[in-house]
Each structure stands twice: as structure tokens, then as C-alpha cells.
Chain A
Amino acid sequence: MSNKNRIYLNKSNFKMFALTVLILSFINLGHAFIYKLQNTVHAHSELVVTLSFFNDRQRIITGSQDNTVKVWSTADLTLLHTFPTFGDDIMNVGLHPIDNRIFVLVWDGNIFVYDPTTYTQLTTFTHPTGNGNYMVFDVPGNRFIIGGFDGAGVVPALHFYDATSYAHLSATNMNFPVGD
């Protein structure tokens, strides 16, 4: 390096150099990782197909292709409750948006409803036309809607149910089986 160039690396300008490096480094890391892994638990023996937080944020409910539905503590993933094993794959577990009643949609067409506190079964009924795949609630939580395959030879439809009486209200035919 020539004498001319040595001027630019002396002590006096090193502070500015260091400051520049610091600022650029912070810019570089400005969008760094902001989520941290808290806990992992081997919850099911097969694929987890559905998972939801309760409104209280203290509990998580999971459903799996191993035909089980379980409730976990959010804080440390301690198992709080295991529902009796269902007769087929769990397709979806929906929580009522207001009171968090637990709706379990099973591939065999059965729907089970449970109390979110005691986990006791409130009712069970069967989807009228076969396999339900996915369910959503309307915004006030008055109705829930199930879509799915609807079985062989049946025109696929969106099925509307009353979320209080669990009565089947209506169905709107679709041209295709309804997905997630």
C-alpha cells in the first residue's frame, strides 16, 4: 500500500469506519428472527391434520389421522385431555367462535360436539350425505358450514347447520368436492 493510501486507514478515521460497520450490521439484522421455539411434544402417532388455539390462549386442541383429538396446555404442552378414540380419521376440529364448543368432524361422517371446559359430549349427529372435510362458523356463530366429498354418487354441497340446535338447515350444491 502506498503512503498516499495509508492516510485513509489511520486511527482518526477508524471510529467512523467502525460506526459504519455497526450501522450496516444493524440494517442487515433488522428483520431478524422474531419467533422462538418454545416446546415440542410428540402429540400423536400420525399426521396432525388440525390444530387450534382456544380463545383463552391457554389451551391448544389437536386432531390427527391416528383418530384422536387431544387438548394441550399452551405454556408447556402438557396433555390436559384425550377424547375417546374416534372411528375414523379426524378431518377437522372447529371451535365455536364465542363459547369455544368443540366440534369434531370425522371422516365417517359423524360430528361430535363437546363442552370446552368439562370436555363432556354435548351431542353427536351424522352428516347427511357422507364425508365432511372441513367446517367453518359464520361470524356471529349462529351457523356452521361443512363442505366435503359428500360420498359416492352424491352432488357435493355446502351444508348449513344451526350451531345451537345442530339442525341441518340447508345445502348449496357445488360442482366439486369442497377442500380446506
Chain B
Amino acid sequence: MSLNAAGTHIAVTNLAVSVTTYHFSIYRLSDMSLISTFTDNTDKIRWAFYANTGNLICKTSRDRSIKCYDYDSAFNVYRLGRNWVASDYPYCMNFGLAQTIITTIGNKIVFYTTQNYTRTDVYFELIDVEPIFVLDSTSDVSLMASGMQNGSVSTWKYFPDPDQPAVQTVTFATNLAIGLGVGLGGFLVILITIVICCFCGCCKRFWKKKKIDG
């Protein structure tokens, strides 16, 4: 259940305790008239949350989907926009900077971008040792807090300075995986660069010409 930034629309989901149709409905708060309703999930809807501005609303479901809808004021209707299939059951969600979606999936806090970038939709993942159940952030998203299944609470701080890349993990295994990943990535970059420099015809001609000119 969530209200849009202007407080004019309210989105309501059903708890789906014993039903098999999963309703997601949006009403005009002033008179509770129905604007749109969707039954596009195949399993329980878990969380629905409006962005901090505008009328963008996203919802998570046990069917692993994260679906976002925006309001078309000309037709007084909400339309499905972005739609992801997460790696596992997405649970709690929130919005970050530039309408980035922050959602909890298992022991991860996963960031999705709602922008139409061509690059991968999943920004990055923060990994904790325990399944994360709920999260909240300050209005400027400089701080996040997560609540875990085992009763633990964690705080997370945003580091805007790229010169201070933050290590976000708390497990040795994850640190090792990231280290290996970065190492392997660097190795591949070097390997690809060598291949390009050594065997690319354009490069050959360039360097040969340079040698002759020299």
C-alpha cells in the first residue's frame, strides 16, 4: 500500500492468503474511484511503492517479477513500463537516487535503474550474511538501513566519491569473489588489449607507418 508523492493516488495490493488472483489496484484518494487495476502476477504481490516524485510505482512479487507502472494523465490510466525478472524472490523495495529501485532479494540489496539505459539493468548488489527483509533510506538516500530475518539491523552509507570505492560486503567469501572477479576482469581487459594491439590490421598499419616516419 503506497501513496504517490502528491498524495492523490493510493495503490493497494491484496495479501493473497487463500486466493489465486493477485490484485494490484490504484485509486484516486479523494473519492476512492478506481483508476487502474492489474492482475498480471502469477504469485503473491509482496510490496508496492511509489517513487519520491511523480506517479511512478513499482511492485515486487513472489513470481520474481519487479514491475513498474506510470500514470498516463491524458487517459487517466496507469500503464506497465519496466519489467524485470529478478534472480530470486524480490521482497521489500524503495527508491534511490535518479529513481533507482532498491529491492531486497535474499541476502542482497539489489539496485535497478528505471532509466532507459542500454547497459545492464542491475546496478550492483550489496551482500549481507542474512536474508534481508525490510529496508528504508533517508530522503537523500545517503543512508540506508536494512532489517534481517534473524533480527539483525544494518546501516549502509553512500559514498559519492569514486576515489573511495567502498567495500560493501561482510563475508570473506564475497570479498574473495569480488577480488577474483575484478582480477579476472582486469586480466581479460589486458588480454583483449594485447590481442587488439598485436593482430588488428589497422594498428599494424598505424605502427608500421609510424616506424617508417620515425
Residues of A whose CB lies within 8 Å of any CB of B are: 5, 7-9, 13, 17, 20-21, 24-25, 28-53, 57, 60, 62, 64, 66, 72, 74, 77, 133-140, 145, 147-149, 158, 172, 174-180
**A37 and B124 in contact (CB under 8 A), knowing A178-B12, A179-B13?**
no
Fill in one digit per residue for B120-164: 1 if any A CB lies within 8 Å of its CB, else 0.
Answer: 000110101000011111100001111111111111111110100
Are the CB atoms of A46 and B151 closer together than 8 Å? Answer: yes
Contact of A47 among B14, B149, B154 (CB under 8 A): B149
Give chain A nearest CB distance to B197 CB in angstroms: 6
Docked-complex contact B146 and A51, CB < 8 angstroms: yes
User: Contacts A8-B207, A49-B134, A136-B3: A44 and B151 contacting too (C-beta < 8 A)?
Assistant: yes
Instruction: Say yes or no for B198: interface residue by CB 8 A criterion.
Output: yes
Q: Quick check: is B48 within 8 A (CB to CB) of the other chain? A: yes
Could you tell me if A51 and B165 are in contact, using CB atoms closer than 8 angstroms?
Answer: no
Closest 8 CB pairs of A and B: A139-B7, A48-B147, A176-B14, A36-B166, A44-B151, A177-B15, A43-B153, A179-B13
Dominant SS among interface residues on chain A: mixed
Q: Do residues B152 and A41 form an inter-chain contact, with CB atoms below 8 A?
A: yes
Whether B143 lies near A74 (C-beta < 8 A) is: yes
Contact with A along B172-205 (1 / 0, CB 8 A): 0000000000100110011001100110000110
Query: Binding site of B, secondary structure by majority: helix, strand, loop or mixed?
Result: mixed
Where the two chains meet, the residues of B that have a C-beta atom closer than 8 Å to any C-beta of A are 1-3, 5-7, 10, 12-17, 19, 23, 27, 29, 32, 45-48, 109, 123-124, 126, 128, 133-138, 143-160, 162, 165-170, 182, 185-186, 189-190, 193-194, 197-198, 203-204, 207-208, 211
B15 touches A51 (CB 8 A): no
Beyond A33-B165, A53-B137, A179-B1, 6 additional contacts (C-beta under 8 Å) are A44-B153, A57-B143, A62-B147, A77-B155, A138-B29, A139-B7
- Nearest CB of B to A129, in Å: 15
25 CB contacts below 8 A, A to B, read A7-B211, A17-B197, A20-B193, A20-B197, A24-B193, A25-B186, A32-B162, A33-B167, A37-B155, A37-B170, A43-B152, A43-B153, A47-B151, A48-B133, A48-B152, A53-B138, A60-B136, A138-B29, A139-B6, A177-B15, A178-B1, A178-B15, A179-B16, A179-B48, A180-B46
Q: A7-B207, A136-B10 are in contact. Are A31 and B124 (CB under 8 A)?
A: yes
Contacts of B197 in A (CB 8 A): 8-9, 13, 17, 20
| A40, A149, A180, most chain B CB atoms within 10 A | A180
Do A49 and B133 touch (CB < 8 A)?
Answer: yes
Please give, as numbers and ranges, the residues of chain B lying within 8 Å of A41 by CB-CB distance: 152-154
Q: Which residue of chain A has the shortest Cβ distance to B113 in the bound complex? A: A31
Note all chain B residues with C-beta closer than 8 A to A74: 143, 145, 155
Pick from A35, A47, A49, A136: contact of B168, CB under 8 Å: A35
Q: Are the C-beta atoms of A48 and B153 separated by less than 8 Å?
A: yes
Select from chain A the residue with minimum beta-carbon distance to B5: A139
| Min distance, Cβ A141 to any Cβ of chain B, angstroms | 9
Does A57 lie within 8 Å of B138, measured CB to CB? Answer: yes
Q: Is A33 a contact partner of B126 (Cβ separation < 8 A)?
A: yes
**Cβ A178 vs Cβ B13 within 8 A:** yes
Please state if B136 and A52 are interface contacts (CB–CB under 8 Å): yes
